[in-house]
Amino acid sequence: MFTLFLLGNIASGKSYVARYLERAGGLRIDLDQMAKGLYQPGSAVVAELADCFGWDILDETGGVVTARLASRAFADDEQTAKLNDIVHPLLVERLVDRLLPYGCCVATQPNVPFAVVEVSAPASFLDAFSLADEVATVWAPLDVRRGRAIARGMAPDDFERRAALQPSDEQLKAWSSIVFDNAVADGRLEAALDEWLACHGFDRAGEADD
């Protein structure tokens, strides 16, 4: 199964692109959601997160309050690195389990021609890029992204703090072989995605051409 890693900074439209490709027949995998799925009450990873970031990140059932964890884990690069050190190995293992059975570990493969993996923190995930057949970036200028985020209800200070911790546009593009321009909502992004699907032999029904 062809695997596309999809990069993009906050409010770039990465999730929109992933959903668009999912509707075209792809298997969508959101690494943020996959990571949250690791936070099972009573698990070793939850205990390690609590030891590192404070036991008050847990609710009364022992589950992780993700907003509280995020406020501490993304406070600066050092704290983010601590989070990645705890979660990253398990996340890679979970992703491998999700991808490889479709590609090499079962005799009968399901009718899923490609997977699109949303990678929100690529700098900490570079060692897993070998799992991808292609890496793409969804790009929009900073001022456009700021406006989108604020329109969705994000506080300006929160956007600036989170954006400052993310890779530069130049770095994202350097990691990618293709860039989807989402600066303006005028249909060009969708046309580029349709072209990408056609070039890879994926039709709109989600089946690869022979």
Six token digits for residue 52: 């590192």
Per DSSP (E only), the strands in the chain are 2-7, 27-30, 114-118, 134-139, 178-181
pLDDT band, very low/low/confident/very high, at 101 (cuts 50, 70, 90): low
- pLDDT at residue 32 tops 80: yes
* CB contact at 8 A, 9 and 172: yes
Residue 42 burial (10 A CB sphere; 0-12, 13-18, 19+): exposed
Distance, CA of 151 to CA of 101 (rounded, Å): 40
Q: What is the pTM of this model?
A: 0.84
Q: What is the pLDDT of residues 57-92, one digit of tens each?
A: 999 999 999 989 988 998 888 998 899 899 999 999
Mean pLDDT of the region 155-163: 92
Comparing 80 with 109, the larger pLDDT belongs to 80
